[in-house]
Chain A
């Protein structure tokens, strides 16, 4: 069926093909809208059927349909989109990306996996197209994750950020206000817990939230010395951060050391937890979809601004603590047989229209020029604004070749759990450091 369409649209899109031809030379104009018909149609490549792999089901169906239609118009070929589950992503990428016969042409990878696949040479060099696809307007932390030196291989696709979601009613009942420093956050939760009305929900194994305490204190997971990565969890700053987190965990928290991040999406809903309720939970910005009052009719949780609120995790001396940025990168497979088609798709993705669509659907757009649309799109009182604010100084995991292995081995989860269980932070940090050092350089 796709094949029959191909012939028809190929002709109609002759003008647009020229653009793909142009851009493949690397001299393309910065105008990324696919209307540059009339520019030399000379060595126009034929319509190409290409494949795009998206991670999980994060990209809404409407956006996928848009990509398919738009690609058919621009290139004339058919775009096949496969949604690869997050759990299968690494194995699928590992096997398919090097294989020119079966590689997807364009792939989305998790931002923490981007560095690994970039370093091993899985992606095509996009440096020549970098300006045209958005240049410095793109979220820089993610660009770095997909770069080696000055060469850019994988670009940001979308970002999410983390925020503290809280229960206004519980805060009011305990007479505490929104904290403005990290120490106050512990203090406020301790007050609530002592009164038995609520406590923070910080899952013991949810290191992606907990890492903010290290970041806020000036620490980091690992540092690059110019040739190699070295774990830095034993730095005084990192240890100070973890001790602060441990204090919060043991004195002001209702989650267990063995809990993971799945519950953080619902922890503050009514009657969700047995025992003392959670008065706040730290979760990715898209948790707004699962937080709120249960609506019998739609059988879903509906955000209630009367009792639910959101704020950015405060820093050590006020301000905003750096959070871990979630999201993903996107790049062209180095083994692709359709670089022109793949490039055409990248241009569609990074064109204004698609970035606008991402933003309106609540996914942090790769191109920060569209941040306003993202902030405005938040249907839940300023969640996206806070997410954007946090994303501005959000941090990523080390852009090291071995990072994917560290995640696979669950080293960070184990470290945070051990600290949550009350262990000695300094010695646990040394232990975790050794494990990370073993894997981080690939």
Chain B
């Protein structure tokens, strides 16, 4: 009896907290449907009755958004795939083997994450300019990749360590090649880990804008966060068109939410597997 009341109260609290956590997202969506006249009233409009899609039309009117979306998708896809492959290989090395220099490598990938990126922008610009890679997908991917590989390696290491080698070896005895054993046995076990660490790589690349603003100067090469930032700040002489800006924010968030929905099931599994293994 006491337990039921306790659980009931817990559920109520959870609902309140869910409301609090989701409110900013709701408010963003709500505002994105409101006209400037409604939105500039002192009293907020809680539900977008009578709202319309004009903000979205305004945002999509110039193709700056679509080109930024394309750019972001390409860069993120490249970085995500390469990052997972490279980090997986490296995590096998440190998760499965003891070798000279291993500890240094582990320490290095931790320390690298502590290096403030903000002072390196000039050097990174010079480097890409020298290689003729400014305003290019490759240029920005090269740097983002170095940004996400260390953490992904670190995270994957825990998953790799948790996979019994015996299983692989058993498969090899059953006639699988080494690659075959990896594909049929190891990889499925690793999938949740790849998803969980992939989420982080995805978010980091998707969110970056400071370096992008320096190495992607051509407007048709801007990534989504750059586009949204400029869009939000190019407000008309101090009067921000909040409806349009919120519509822009919704559009920037949608790809991530879609991505999260796709990987969501695996991610939960991944966090269980990886986190506990440390």
Contact present between A and B (CB < 8 A): yes
Once bound together, how far apart are the Cα atoms of A240 and B126, in whole Å? 48
**Are B237 and A83 in contact, with the CB atoms below 8 A?**
no
**Is A318's beta carbon under 8 Å from chain B?**
no
A34 nearest CB across to chain B (Å): 27
A261-B238, A266-B239 are contacts. A299–B233 as well, Cβ < 8 Å?
no
**Are B237 and A287 in contact, with the CB atoms below 8 A?**
yes
**Are A265 and B239 in contact, with the CB atoms below 8 A?**
yes
CB-defined A-B contacts under 8 Å, sample of 14: A82-B219, A83-B219, A88-B214, A95-B122, A95-B214, A99-B126, A99-B129, A101-B129, A261-B238, A264-B238, A266-B238, A286-B237, A289-B236, A290-B238
**Are A289 and B237 in contact, with the CB atoms below 8 A?**
yes
**Are A92 and B214 in contact, with the CB atoms below 8 A?**
yes
A91-B213, A101-B129 are contacts. A82–B218 as well, Cβ < 8 Å?
yes
**Are B213 and A265 in contact, with the CB atoms below 8 A?**
no
A-B pairs, 9 with minimum CB distance: A262-B238, A265-B238, A95-B125, A299-B36, A265-B237, A88-B213, A290-B237, A99-B129, A85-B230
**Are B234 and A56 in contact, with the CB atoms below 8 A?**
yes
From B122, which residue of chain A is reached at the shortest CB distance?
A: A95
User: Which A residues touch B230, using CB under 8 A?
Assistant: 85
User: Which A residues touch B36, using CB under 8 A?
Assistant: 299
**Is A96's beta carbon under 8 Å from chain B?**
yes
Once bound together, how far apart are the Cα atoms of A102 and B40, in whole Å? 43
Once bound together, how far apart are the Cα atoms of A103 and B124, in whole Å? 16
B63 nearest CB across to chain A (Å): 15
Residues B25-47 near A (CB distance < 8 A): 35-37, 40, 42
From B236, which residue of chain A is reached at the shortest CB distance?
A: A290
Known pairs A56-B234, A82-B218. 4 more at Cβ < 8 A?
A96-B217, A286-B237, A290-B239, A299-B35
From A94, which residue of chain B is reached at the shortest CB distance?
A: B122
B21 nearest CB across to chain A (Å): 30
Once bound together, how far apart are the Cα atoms of A274 and B42, in whole Å? 9
Once bound together, how far apart are the Cα atoms of A102 and B133, in whole Å? 10
User: Which A residues touch B37, using CB under 8 A?
Assistant: 294, 296, 299
**Is B134's beta carbon under 8 Å from chain A?**
yes
Once bound together, how far apart are the Cα atoms of A91 and B122, in whole Å? 9
Candidate in A95, A262, A265, A287 with the most chain B CB atoms within 10 angstroms: A95
**Are A87 and B233 in contact, with the CB atoms below 8 A?**
yes
Once bound together, how far apart are the Cα atoms of A299 and B37, in whole Å? 6
B219 nearest CB across to chain A (Å): 6
From B132, which residue of chain A is reached at the shortest CB distance?
A: A101
Once bound together, how far apart are the Cα atoms of A253 and B218, in whole Å? 44
Contact indicator per residue, chain A 17-50, by CB within 8 Å of chain B (1) or not (0): 0000000000000000000000000000000000
Residues B212-241 near A (CB distance < 8 A): 213-214, 217-219, 230, 233-234, 236-239
User: Which A residues touch B236, using CB under 8 A?
Assistant: 289-290
**Is A263's beta carbon under 8 Å from chain B?**
yes
Residues A269-310 near B (CB distance < 8 A): 271, 274, 286-287, 289-290, 294, 296, 299
A295 nearest CB across to chain B (Å): 10
Q: Which of B129, B217, B239 contacts A84 (CB 8 A)?
A: B217
Once bound together, how far apart are the Cα atoms of A168 and B271, in whole Å? 65
From A271, which residue of chain B is reached at the shortest CB distance?
A: B42
A54 nearest CB across to chain B (Å): 11
From A260, which residue of chain B is reached at the shortest CB distance?
A: B238
User: Which A residues touch B238, using CB under 8 A?
Assistant: 261-266, 290
User: Which B residues touch A265, using CB under 8 A?
Assistant: 237-239
Once bound together, how far apart are the Cα atoms of A299 and B217, in whole Å? 33
**Are A102 and B234 in contact, with the CB atoms below 8 A?**
no
User: Which B residues touch A92, using CB under 8 A?
Assistant: 213-214, 217
User: Which B residues touch A271, using CB under 8 A?
Assistant: 42
Contact indicator per residue, chain A 167-178, by CB within 8 Å of chain B (1) or not (0): 000000000000
A254 nearest CB across to chain B (Å): 17
Once bound together, how far apart are the Cα atoms of A85 and B229, in whole Å? 10
User: Which A residues touch B233, using CB under 8 A?
Assistant: 85, 87
**Is A59's beta carbon under 8 Å from chain B?**
no
Once bound together, how far apart are the Cα atoms of A179 and B41, in whole Å? 34
User: Which B residues touch A99, using CB under 8 A?
Assistant: 125-126, 129
**Are B214 and A57 in contact, with the CB atoms below 8 A?**
no
User: Which A residues touch B121, using CB under 8 A?
Assistant: 91, 95
B34 nearest CB across to chain A (Å): 12
Q: Which of B134, B214, B218 contacts A91 (CB 8 A)?
A: B214
Once bound together, how far apart are the Cα atoms of A249 and B35, in whole Å? 36
Once bound together, how far apart are the Cα atoms of A261 and B237, in whole Å? 10
Once bound together, how far apart are the Cα atoms of A355 and B234, in whole Å? 25
User: Which A residues touch B125, using CB under 8 A?
Assistant: 95, 99
User: Which B residues touch A264, using CB under 8 A?
Assistant: 238
User: Which A residues touch B237, using CB under 8 A?
Assistant: 265, 286-287, 289-290
B134 nearest CB across to chain A (Å): 6
From B217, which residue of chain A is reached at the shortest CB distance?
A: A92
Once bound together, how far apart are the Cα atoms of A124 and B135, in whole Å? 25
Contact indicator per residue, chain A 309-320, by CB within 8 Å of chain B (1) or not (0): 000000000000
User: Which B residues touch A101, using CB under 8 A?
Assistant: 129, 132
Once bound together, how far apart are the Cα atoms of A83 and B227, in whole Å? 13
User: Which B residues touch A274, using CB under 8 A?
Assistant: 42
Contact indicator per residue, chain B 122-162, by CB within 8 Å of chain A (1) or not (0): 10011001001010000000000000000000000000000
From B231, which residue of chain A is reached at the shortest CB distance?
A: A85
User: Which B residues touch A96, using CB under 8 A?
Assistant: 217
**Are A82 and B217 in contact, with the CB atoms below 8 A?**
yes
Once bound together, how far apart are the Cα atoms of A19 and B37, in whole Å? 53
From B125, which residue of chain A is reached at the shortest CB distance?
A: A95
Once bound together, how far apart are the Cα atoms of A274 and B121, in whole Å? 43
Once bound together, how far apart are the Cα atoms of A274 and B43, in whole Å? 12
